[in-house]
Structure 1
Amino acid sequence: MRDMKQIFALVCSLILLIVAHNAFGQSGKTVQGMLRDTESRVVAGASVQLVAGNDTLGTSSSPAGIFTFANVKAETFKIRVSSLGFEPFERQFTLQADGDKMVIPSFELQGIANMLEEVVVDGVLTVQVKGDTLEYTTKDLKLRDNALVEDALKRLQGVEVDKDGAVTAQGEQVVRVRINGKDFFGGDVKTATQNLPADIINKIQVIDDYGDMANLTGNKTGDAQKILNIEIDPEKNKGFTTTLRAGYGTDDRYQATGSAIIMRDKMQFSILGNLNNINAPLFDFNTQGGGARRRIGGGGGPGGGGMFGGSNGITNTGSLGLNYRQDFSDKITVYGSYSFGHDDNVALSSSLNRFLYPDSTLDRNTESNTNTIGNSHRFEANLEWKPSEKDFIKITPQLSYRNTKTNSFSFNENLLNGTLYNTEDNNLSGVAKSPNVGVSALYNRRLNDKGRNLFINMNISSSGTRDDQDRIIETLVSDPNNSDMTMDSLYRRTLSELDNSSWNGGATVSYLEPVSKYGKIELSYDYNINSYDNNRQQNAFQADGSELMDPRYVFNRMYDYSFSTHQFGANYNFNNDKIKYSLGLAVQPTLLDGDASIDGEEIHINRNGFNVVPIARFEYKFNRQKNLQLNYSGRANEPSITQIQPFTDNSNPTNIITGNPNLDAEFQHNVRLRFNSNDFQKGKTFFMVLNGTLTSNKIVSNNLRQTDPALGVIQETSYLNEDGAYSMRGFYHYGRSFKNKVYSLNFMGSLNFNNNPSYTEGNLNKAQNWVLMQGMMFRYLPSENLEINPGIRYTWDHTYNTLNARSITMQSWAPTLIGSVNITPTIVFGADLSKTFFQGNAFSENPFIINTYLEKRMLKGNRGALRLQAFDLLNEQTNISRTASDIMISDTRVNRLGRYFMLQFTFKLQKFASGVNPFQDNGGPGGMRRPRM
């Protein structure tokens, strides 16, 4: 049989040789040409055919866009070109009589709308670069069965997922996730990445999003947010996918998770539920809703099953969420979500804080135990209506509510110049409620087909906080000059009520007028107002229950104020396929107006301000895979309530804060440069981002230290404006893959510098902070059966304070190793190892975290999986961090979920209308998908 195959192959080869010899001869000419697009950029990887009669030769254009055919003898022939993203091309030629080589003039390929930037190379991840969007086609990723979107993200060059599930792209944190262009559970990142199955997605887009106005008009202003958009595979858009997971382990650890996603072309419905005590929250209720005007945990383990425990403390969690989308017609789309979460967290923390004054050092050491129980609700809906081809309306109502009960105990020890000054026991019991409601609406009208456009956006929202606290503080004061003296005791109980409410309203109007083929003028007006009503009262009692009339503890204060801005702008926009830029100017008058009542004393504040805001943006495309962007933005930042309050807040007598009603709003100038240079044909990616920020009238603190015979050491903080605050940040990522992405090597690094002025006892101090990070990761991924990911990250953090000429340096090394292997076709072993070496931190721990699992896949099509997982085998899980400011160094250690073992069962059910049974045996080991060659 083998001999017959060899004979057959030989006969076929001879036939092909004879045909080629008859058609083109042995002494033909060389035909060569070049492919370009309409912007004279080379087109690489295109399929090129030379057709002579019934005979055809084929080749591909080189990275330089050149194609070559040898031994062409036919008198006439056709050249056919096809390439994804371009219209098919065909032209007939006559072979030249003289010379050995015929050079064909460059072909100009016409691009298909919205597909000009796509680069397709067999064996290499398909990528599109479309202005502010980087799009990855995920069909070529080598993923295991039951993989999640988070697992797919870890395969993308320039994208990182840390152990807590946070996603960064090109060095910037991703703040929102969308499904098919619409928010999924309010844009909650981890909800999407840690619950959506990877096998239903087709593309992942990383987008610099400038808001609804930019998406509708193309005019980009302000700062961009980094978001993910996940596109569902059209073949999976009819059907459902369901995953159920349950597990129980040592120390009574448990997990029960369920998700179901139903898709029917124009309808999507998702339901998620979660109940566990392994620090695996389902929703992040701190995520800002998608409808607001944008001026403004658990880490998944390898393999898709997930191992958690990365958030601080130990949390019992219960969550439930619904997400719905319906395209009722081509004109009306409705989508929205409701999320509920209950959490019960216990956190144990230790902090060592050192305050550096010109003539002394204060050490404040704190041990605390805090229990926080909360219930959160979040609802968001979106109505998108297209009454005509030129009109678009979007209405977004939002509602959220959270109530929290807190009980905490902390022990504080204060040492002045190394000598014990006082100790403090602090017991706090509090109840807080925070309702928020708002609605936003926008209208866009295309006035003609040449670019004339009108955009209107309006919003109004209201929020509030009601916080009732019962605090008992017992202080023991010593005499620093006599260590043998018995410490004096001071007892006080305070009952305080904090009632803050605010509302925000605003409107934006933008008008675009085309003045040339590529140029437009924009006229804009933006109005925004923030109004605040703040009330705080406090009573105090002695140990025997009698009232304590000391004004430091007893007060009744009210502060109502508003901050409003009007911004008028005009700019010119130029946009062709190679160059885009915007130049303009905006003026912004501001008004701060308010009234305060402090223990019966009335105070009125009224102050005007004026800002000039330049508008500048530039983008240049060198070719299809290389571009440069330069963007300037400016904005005014109003003072916070704490900074501007016209009174002294001594609710914490050892940390007194005095506001300054004469503060000006600070103005921040930001310049951002981004450069991309990629060669996806060779598996190379390079991203570089440079940011520079200069803040005028920076609101800075003035820190004072006092001693009190009854309270010990007291720190007072006030605020003022100061110039000279600036920062610079650079980030790069370089990735290279080899042999169809079997081997991948990635380098990433950043360098940050911050110059922060402040005052200490009236003396100017500049805290100059340098942070250097360098990382490297290697990936070996020959198939879905084996994956090895070693890596290492180095961080150097150095702060120099000019006032006391002191330097603070901290370093850390963090090697990691993540991998998985199929022991048999249905048995998988995975491990996640990380070790951190700290230098310069007050805490001596260098945790070595080992997570591992052994999984057996079962049932038809591997729908079921039984997993035995071990979390933190050495029981060294903890969170250690350091922060440094103008006068303070703070080292903090917080407990995290420690070692446990869990047996977990996962069942997955899918069915799609494409006719493909997702549970049939695919012929690969364990039913895995075969690698695409």
Structure 2
Amino acid sequence: MKQRLFAFASLLLVCYGAMAQNSVVSGTIYDKETKEPLMQTTVQLLKTDSTYVTGAASAEDGTFKITVPEDGKYILRLTNIGYSNVYRNITMAEGKDIALGKINMATDAVMLKEVVAKGMAQKLVVKEDTFIYNAAAYRTPEGSVVEELVKRLPGAQVGEDGKITINGKQVTRIKVDGKEFMNGDSQTALKNLPTSIIEKVRAYDEKSDMARMTGVDDGEENMILDFGIKPGMNKGFLGNADLAAGTHDRYAGRVMAGIMKDNDRLMIMGNANNTNDRGFGGRGGRGGAGNGLQANKMVGINYNYEIPKKIIFDLNGRWNHGDGDNSTTTASESYISKVGAFSNSRSVTQNRNNNFNFAGRLEWHPDTMTTIQLRPSYTFSNNDSHSQRLNASFSKDPYSYDENVDPLDSEVMRKISAQNPLDSLLVNRNNNLSLSHGDNSQFNVMATVSRKLSNRGNSITVQGRYQKSKNENESLSVSETDLYRIKNIDGADSVYWKNRYNTAPTNNSSFQISASYTERLSQYSFLVFRYMYQHSDRDNSRDTYDFSDFTSFGRGITPRYNGFDDFIGGYKPLTTSSAYYNKELSRSTKYKNDTQEMELTWRRTTNAYNLNLGVLYQPQTQHLVYDYLNQHFDTARSVSNITPTLDFNYKFNRRKSLRLNYRARTSQPSMEDMLPIVDDSDPMNIREGNPGLKPSFTQSAQLRYNNYIQSHFSSVMAFVNYSNTRNSVSNKVYYDPLTGAQKSRPENINGNWNIMSALMYNAAIDTMGVWNFNSFANLRYSNNVSYVNLDPANKSEAVKNFNRSTSLSENLGFSYRNGWLEVELNGNVNYTINKNKLQPDRNRNTWDFQYGTDITATAPWGTALSTSAHMSSRRNYAQKDANTDEFIWNAQISQSFLQGRPLTVSLQFYDILHTKSSFTNSSSATGITNSWSNGINSYAMLHVIYRFNAFGGKNARRGAFGGPGGPGGMPGPPPGGFGGGGRGGRGGGMPGGGFGGGMPGGGRGGFGGGRMF
């Protein structure tokens, strides 16, 4: 019996093996003249109609193997840069393998010259709405991550807050080879993926999951940056380690490892530094510059698994820890009132946070008609913060007293408050100290099922979402305010104390159910019905304990991490006493919201254009129970909104398109803003509700034109954005001329609108693409409306004021590039015009401009020299020390070692002349603010970088080790691409290395230090 079972099992295994076995095509590729094997030749298996089936790259010895999925007739195509293409017709039958033996490829001098020219010139290609950047055309520092590459892309901008925009659109998600990466956390990818493995960068708008499944645009889009990995590097093992130490106790370490197979990919990342490079999102310029001192640590993992047309599984997790130490000085000017119109502040904020995040996606296609998707995520975080702030308000510009002194200096303040007529300048002075701690968690899950009902395009989609969050926050605030225009009974300046301890737990939950049905009306048109119901609950409370009678409360707090409980512990008995619990200042908010959406969309799709026309009806019911300041409110409201949508995309061809987009939306005012209540819990900032607030209606339109001219390797992009809001909400502010206190009341106002336009042009100047030119021009105009109180004694004199701001900017660049040298001359200028209608004395026109050069030279033996020198200037700012010239000079030298040069040692110098400052300027309808912050901008760092990979052949490893190359580059993905690794390929083996931009700041983190004031 056992023998029969064994024989039967053996037979099953043999049958299974026979069924599972696929045919294999193999061969060896040689140079026809030199008889040397050709590695990294692209081998593609095509159907007889040229449809791509599968492909591979030849190994170091020229051999290749391709698994054929089924019997039939095929075409085998071999491509390599500098060689004529080779084609073979093959027929697979009965599951038998085919050995083609030796295959010779002949060189093609004409093709080689053409491809070299294209490889150097094609920095950017535009296909429909997708911008495709050639990474090899942008040299970056040795060991750099893709953030450095993005900063060099035409039309790309990285803001001081770390946000990245491409052609005016903010990037919200990152992909790698079309696969999701870190669940949309763009900054984690930008700070950790090495540039050396990237071949292409694609920028495009991606529809929402619902839109992709239904085929109908729902208006929800994500701006995607998709990084394509070089062919031959997306299978096997990849490792990258970068360790660095520098002056001023700077340090940095980054490790990334990945295992890549046909169907799955695992990537692990680690990052620790005190150079303001968070590695998981946040601010930072070139080299890690940023405001304040930051020490950060991050560990992340990303896993992708896919069975084509069947299952997609993505999973990622991340832990990050940050220590911050920020010192900021500001000088502000308000347009709202003449009393307290000028203010200066100085603050120190020290914080620590931990964050854990997990997210995943499972998408299953049980058949060709059905898609099932599940997206769960969970986040937990905690934070501690300590801050000290000194602020003073003035009725006139304090620099008129002495432009060379600090208005916050205690001696200067005494002189201002004691001498006539200067005593009229100083209105009040506030010294505030605060501590806070918070624990926050959030869980989200979304499930979607979509089913095609027929081959005509009819479909139905159902989606459900659930979200729950819980926050436990507590804070302590100690505040002392001196009023210089009000005297107490002793004839001295009045003093107001506000010492409070708050606990604020929050519980929020919501669920949403939606369904859509698509009906095909004709060959090119569809009609879509969508319904959505959402319910949300928000339960917020705040318990307040008032210790304002204790004038010494909180004095002598030692700024120490995790010391909140230790400090507040001494006051815990007081927080259980009814004597200090302030019921009037404590608050309870319970909010329920029910929203429905009914949308009808007509869509027409042809080869020439796509058109979406839709209308949305949105009824909403809200219920608020509010207890505050000994008042109880139980109120509800029901509103309905109707908004139209339009999206038109005309495609002249694959490279030229014109798109028009129109959106309208209605926003309801906050129910808390509409309560008839006066909140005077802070006598210096009193707020009054307005039951008469109306909904705001915003219309926005965008017109965008893209064109890529193949014959000149040039690209053109132009767009115009317009937005207008009716019944927007602005605060009417009334100032007390004696104290500088303000009372605000929200009011509807009309006249807020803005327009922005841009034109980008990139082109090769010569036919070989050695000389290149790029330009990005931008024009912004905003008409901001607010209320201004010109006569503090008469509240009725708060009138409408217009602040008009015009900003013109131009970025120009000229570059020369050959196989070993790259020189770029670049510059930008920004001219801003601010005009205030009722207070023209506050009009100001400012200039910001920068110009300089980036030079990189590489040697065949692995040495790279690079330098960046730029002059940054500001003119016509109100504060004298804001109008400066800063000559920023960076330099780097690197040397690569070992066979294939996997080891690189790099010495980098940031801000060699010690001239960089951390200055920012911002303006709005209500005023203008100039800010200065701390940072270590000038230092040197020594990097040791090692890269390891176990895939492809020797040329593939060279491409991974070296920087982006010049002519030759890397082989492109099927079908076609630039090719590389063969004759004429000079890039890949040499370490590239441009270098430049802003300077890294950084710091040890930690609170440190005693009281500031």
TM-score category, normalised to shorter length? 0.7 to 0.9
1:835-850 pair list within 5 angstroms: 835-843=871-879, 844-845=881-882, 846=884, 847-850=886-889
1:337-383 superposed Cα distances (whole Å, 9 cap, x missing partner):
11111111101101112223455452221001110111111111111
Mapped partners of 1:406, 1:147: distance in 2? 32
Partner residue, 2:600: 570
Partner residue, 2:632: 602
Mapped partners of 1:857, 1:930: distance in 2? 10
Distance 1:417 1:212, change over 3 A: same
1:872-891 pair list within 5 angstroms: 872-891=911-930
| Residues 1:440 and 2:446 are matched in the alignment | yes
| Residues 1:760 and 2:777 are matched in the alignment | no
Mapped partners of 1:650, 1:354: distance in 2? 25
Partner residue, 1:749: 777
Partner of residue 172 from structure 1, selected from 159, 169, 173:
169
Mapped partners of 2:597, 2:551: distance in 1? 58
5+ residue gaps in structure 2?
1-78, 80-84, 86-116, 398-424, 554-573, 790-795, 963-980, 994-1013
Distance 1:271 1:926, change over 3 A: closer
Partner of residue 740 from structure 2, selected from 705, 708, 713:
713
Partner residue, 2:657: 627
Mapped partners of 1:493, 1:891: distance in 2? 30
Mapped partners of 1:277, 1:904: distance in 2? 14
Query: Secondary structure, in 3 states, of the residue corresponding to 1:536?
Result: strand
User: Would you say the 8 A contact 1:332–1:383 is kept in 2?
Assistant: yes
TM superposition shift of 1:897: 2.6
User: Would you say the 8 A contact 1:158–1:170 is kept in 2?
Assistant: yes
Mapped partners of 1:122, 1:629: distance in 2? 30
User: Would you say the 8 A contact 1:374–1:402 is kept in 2?
Assistant: yes
1:255-313 superposed Cα distances (whole Å, 9 cap, x missing partner):
1211111101111111111111111111128xxxxxxxxxxx3334xxxxxx22x2220
Query: Secondary structure, in 3 states, of the residue corresponding to 2:542?
Result: strand
Mapped partners of 1:488, 1:382: distance in 2? 61
User: Would you say the 8 A contact 2:188–2:279 is kept in 1?
Assistant: yes
What TM-score results when the alignment is normalised by the length of structure 1?
0.79
Partner residue, 2:48: none
Partner of residue 655 from structure 1, selected from 685, 696, 721:
685
Query: Secondary structure, in 3 states, of the residue corresponding to 1:213?
Result: helix
Partner of residue 895 from structure 1, selected from 934, 937, 947:
934
Mapped partners of 1:766, 1:733: distance in 2? 35
Partner residue, 1:72: none
User: Would you say the 8 A contact 2:128–2:656 is kept in 1?
Assistant: no
User: Would you say the 8 A contact 1:247–1:254 is kept in 2?
Assistant: yes
Partner of residue 749 from structure 2, selected from 712, 722, 731:
722
Mapped partners of 2:485, 2:992: distance in 1? 76
Mapped partners of 1:551, 1:342: distance in 2? 35
Distance 1:507 1:836, change over 3 A: farther
1:300-319 pair list within 5 angstroms: 300=286, 307-308=287-288, 310-319=289-298
Partner residue, 1:854: 893
What TM-score results when the alignment is normalised by the length of structure 2?
0.73
1:29-67 superposed Cα distances (whole Å, 9 cap, x missing partner):
xxxxxxxxxxxxxxxxxxxxxxxxxxxxxxxxxxxxxxx
Single out whichever of 543-552 and 626-635 deviates more from structure 2.
543-552
1:436-460 superposed Cα distances (whole Å, 9 cap, x missing partner):
1111121221112221122222212
Partner residue, 2:731: 701
| Residues 1:196 and 2:193 are matched in the alignment | yes
TM superposition shift of 1:156: 4.4
Distance 1:330 1:517, change over 3 A: closer
Mapped partners of 1:395, 1:642: distance in 2? 36
1:337-736 pair list within 5 angstroms: 337-357=316-336, 359-417=338-396, 419-479=425-485, 486-541=492-547, 542-543=549-550, 555-639=585-669, 643=673, 647-650=677-680, 652-660=682-690, 663-707=693-737, 712-736=739-763
TM superposition shift of 1:253: 1.1
Partner of residue 298 from structure 1, selected from 278, 284, 295:
284
User: Would you say the 8 A contact 1:733–1:748 is kept in 2?
Assistant: yes
Mapped partners of 2:992, 2:435: distance in 1? 58
Distance 1:658 1:871, change over 3 A: farther
Query: Secondary structure, in 3 states, of the residue corresponding to 1:235?
Result: coil
TM superposition shift of 1:803: 3.8
Distance 1:594 1:816, change over 3 A: farther
Pick 1 or 2: higher relative contact order, CA cutoff 8 A, min separation 6: 2
User: Would you say the 8 A contact 2:783–2:805 is kept in 1?
Assistant: no
Query: Secondary structure, in 3 states, of the residue corresponding to 1:862?
Result: coil
1:770-816 superposed Cα distances (whole Å, 9 cap, x missing partner):
23232233242423522222222222223333343452433211224
Partner residue, 1:280: 277
Distance 1:149 1:420, change over 3 A: closer
Single out whichever of 325-334 and 441-450 deviates more from structure 2.
325-334
Mapped partners of 1:887, 1:377: distance in 2? 38
Mapped partners of 1:888, 1:553: distance in 2? 36
Mapped partners of 1:313, 1:816: distance in 2? 26
Distance 1:528 1:831, change over 3 A: farther
Partner residue, 2:824: 789
User: Would you say the 8 A contact 2:393–2:426 is kept in 1?
Assistant: yes
Distance 1:752 1:140, change over 3 A: closer
What one-letter code is carried by the residue in structure 2 that aligns with 1:614?
A: P
Q: CA RMSD in A?
A: 3.3
Distance 1:563 1:132, change over 3 A: farther
User: Would you say the 8 A contact 1:158–1:687 is kept in 2?
Assistant: no
Distance 1:420 1:857, change over 3 A: same
Mapped partners of 1:780, 1:537: distance in 2? 62
5+ residue gaps in structure 1?
1-81, 83-87, 89-119, 286-296, 301-306
User: Would you say the 8 A contact 2:497–2:551 is kept in 1?
Assistant: no
Query: Secondary structure, in 3 states, of the residue corresponding to 2:908?
Result: strand
Distance 1:553 1:821, change over 3 A: farther
Query: Secondary structure, in 3 states, of the residue corresponding to 2:914?
Result: coil
Distance 1:398 1:657, change over 3 A: farther
Mapped partners of 1:713, 1:553: distance in 2? 28
Mapped partners of 1:431, 1:449: distance in 2? 57
Mapped partners of 1:737, 1:832: distance in 2? 23
Partner residue, 2:247: 250
1:555-595 superposed Cα distances (whole Å, 9 cap, x missing partner):
11112223332221212211111122122322222222211
1:779-818 pair list within 5 angstroms: 779-805=814-840, 806-818=842-854
Partner residue, 1:775: 810
Partner residue, 1:17: none
User: Would you say the 8 A contact 1:703–1:717 is kept in 2?
Assistant: yes
What one-letter code is carried by the residue in structure 2 that aligns with 1:169?
A: I
| Residues 1:907 and 2:886 are matched in the alignment | no
Distance 1:424 1:544, change over 3 A: closer
User: Would you say the 8 A contact 1:911–1:917 is kept in 2?
Assistant: no
Mapped partners of 2:858, 2:233: distance in 1? 27
What one-letter code is carried by the residue in structure 1 that aligns with 2:701?
A: V
TM superposition shift of 1:335: 0.8
Partner residue, 2:9: none
What one-letter code is carried by the residue in structure 1 that aligns with 2:169?
A: E
Partner residue, 2:16: none
Mapped partners of 2:120, 2:887: distance in 1? 37
